[in-house]
Structure 1
Amino acid sequence: MARGGLFFFVLYLVIGAYFLNFGLNFIKLPEISANINKWIIFAGGVLLIIGAINYLRANRASRYNRVR
């Protein structure tokens, strides 16, 4: 995996699990998480956008390498 790839994979996984829990409520969250709830959703949205951009860049790079 690329440098830092494992870190971002775990971070995406944790944020994704939080989003699933946010909708399904299978784990009861403590009161302190209600205060930072907006920030977690904001950070998750930013990470999803960054992930989408990186996915797009990786696909373009592999497509150009196949042509050459």
Structure 2
Amino acid sequence: MTPLRDAALTAALFLLYAVVFVPLGIVARLVRDPLHRRPDAGRSSYWHRFDHPHPSASAAAPAHQRSAA
């Protein structure tokens, strides 16, 4: 591709990003909080309990431990 075509493509992609994606991101942040970063005075803790699944005898062995039968 020619340098002029490369520059035009870069400018077009930048304008697309600036006109479409930046305003969408700003509106999304104003409307909702997807990461739940706003403090909630009613909560005593922000800890989320996560129980790890325990491996059992019926579970398949990891790939590196399987026999090549």
TM-score, normalized by length of structure 1? 0.38
Q: Which has the higher contact order (CA 8 A, sep 6+)?
A: 1
Higher helix share: 1
Larger radius of gyration: 2
